[in-house]
Amino acid sequence: WAAGVARNDAGELAIDGIPVSELQRQFGTPLFVMSENDFRARARAFSDAFNDAFADICGGVDVYYAGKSFLCTTVVRWVEEEGLRLDTASGGELAVAARAGIPGADVALHGNNKSDGEIHRALDMQLGRIVVDSLDELERVAAIAANRGDTARVMLRLTPGVHAHTHEFIATAHEDQKFGLSMAGDSTDQAGLSAAEEAVAAASGHESIELLGLHCHIGSQIFEPDGFALAAERLLDFLAAMQAKYEIVLPELDLGGGYGIAYTPVDTPRPAAEIAQAMAAVVRSKCAALGISAPRISIEPGRAIVGSTTFTLYEVGTLKTVRVDAPAAGGGEPGEPGKNVTYPRRYVSVDGGMSDNPRPVLYDADYSAILASRTSDAAPQLSRVVGKHCESGDIVVRDVYLPEDVAAGDLLAVPGTGAYCWALSSNYNYLARPGVVAVRDGAVRLIVRGETEEDLLNRDMGV
Ligand code: LLP
């Protein structure tokens, strides 16, 4: 839960003192409810943790908020005011950045398939960095910049062969995925040279490119520092080798995003300070061992900043209860007499679902939910919160105990929906995407308007 979210004296969930019924009255449901203070505090805390850990190594860290997790102009302004920079991944995200008025120098552009238009836009906005993802793109960026008489500031995204899972990581020799330049030798036509090395050589040869350094991103919702540390070591080895071989200086190293958050009590991400210190220790010792001065470090957290700042408010509609068969403890086939238990599961339908949060369907993600409009002394009942879409997989919260007397018209709140929920939302079944409100010190404002039926129909040309 975001800071400032608590039950009021009447037992209703409130944020900075504003009860959820009031939010529903003003803005309807479903609704994303975000705490501005909490966003700012998390941005600062994350930035402070990394700046402290790296202060003596490279004078601090540049923190790029990963806008893909949740982006709108208001949030870009908060990011800038808190001293962070912005990571974008498309022309559309750049358009939001431009509208918010953040200086281009503080913006990075990602993407494995940037269009020429996006590259032009990045150069128009004089972006601090374009993160180049392939040899192909490197040549395109170089040519476009040369034609304009411009210089593109470039980071090269490499795949360090660290495959990060949520709780563990496994090292692989070669990453079989679409992003980045492979560091494995012999990965292109040029015998012996990895794609990453080819890119370094080519980039340093282009007048129109200023090669700033190297980048990697090993995955998302990662709890432990080990994978980040291993990736940092591999990139530093490579950076030192390239500096020596090509007699260049690569002043920057970006270690990407991916820092995990707790969605439910079983999630136990390490605190940012611990992760930052573990990464700093590795960078410090590796640079010493290699005899190089440390590059300026940057990172790109998205979820860790915005994820916990927001809850989704839903209204309960239809309810039904089914009996579920499950093997009793100690085994037994389903249906085998005497070895089964059967228990009730209640389906609690809400007025949104996979269109405002596709993460349970996409990633089997777990959330929790509480009865927000009131407290209840009724017994807890195993419940499944489901959406209103035409799919049986349309689950919001797989298993949660909610009071037995939950009824139509009650409000439920699902915490932890700040990252990759609104951002991934859709109009499936012609549902209008919900709005986002930001609450600060008892005042609420709409920062993204919810869609209306008219918005949806306007795009249907009806010809
Ligand atoms: N940098 C790069 C290059 C990335 O690709 C990403 C996320 C980030 C930074 C930010 O990662 P974060 O700190 O937010 O984990 N839709 C998925 C997550 C996709 C992440 C994509 N890239 C989900 O809902 O879990």
pLDDT at 279: 98
Question: What is the CA(436)–ligand 1 centre distance, in A?
Answer: 20
Question: What is the CA(273)–ligand 1 centre distance, in A?
Answer: 20
439 close to 447: Cβ distance less than 8 angstroms: no
pLDDT at 189: 58
For the chain, where do the domains classified as CATH 2.40.37.10 start and end? Answer: 5-35+308-458
Is the distance from the beta carbon of residue 302 to the nearest atom of ligand 1 less than 6 Å?
A: yes
300 close to 85: Cβ distance less than 8 angstroms: no
| pLDDT tens series, the chain, 463 aa | 999 999 999 999 999 999 999 999 999 999 999 999 999 999 999 999 999 999 999 999 999 999 999 999 999 999 999 999 999 999 999 999 999 999 999 999 999 999 999 999 999 999 999 999 999 999 999 999 999 999 999 999 999 988 776 545 555 545 678 999 999 876 555 568 999 999 999 999 999 999 999 999 999 999 999 999 999 999 999 999 999 999 999 999 999 999 999 999 999 999 999 999 999 999 999 999 999 999 999 999 999 999 999 999 999 999 999 998 877 666 556 666 666 778 899 999 999 999 999 999 999 999 999 999 999 999 999 999 999 999 999 999 999 999 999 999 999 999 999 999 999 999 999 999 999 999 999 999 999 999 999 999 999 999 9
pLDDT at 26: 98
Nearest to 200 by CA among 140, 156, 254, 134: 156
Report ipTM for this prediction.
0.99
User: Is 216 annotated as catalytic?
Assistant: no
Is the distance from the beta carbon of residue 217 to the nearest atom of ligand 1 less than 6 Å?
A: yes
Is the distance from the beta carbon of residue 298 to the nearest atom of ligand 1 less than 6 Å?
A: no
Any binding-site annotation on 333? no
pLDDT at 335: 61
**Domain covering 5-35+308-458 in this structure, CATH number:** 2.40.37.10
pLDDT at 188: 59
Is the distance from the beta carbon of residue 418 to the nearest atom of ligand 1 less than 6 Å?
A: no
Question: What is the CA(69)–ligand 1 centre distance, in A?
Answer: 7
Question: What is the CA(21)–ligand 1 centre distance, in A?
Answer: 33
Q: Are strands 252-254 and 296-299 parallel, antiparallel or unpaired?
A: parallel
Mutation to probe ligand 1, out of 84, 214, 220, 303 (largest number of atoms < 8 A from CB): 220
For the chain, where do the domains classified as CATH 3.20.20.10 start and end? Answer: 71-301
Any binding-site annotation on 161? no
Residue minimizing CA distance to atom 16 of ligand 1:
420
CATH superfamily of 71-301: Alanine racemase (3.20.20.10)
* pTM (global) more than 0.90: yes
pLDDT at 403: 98
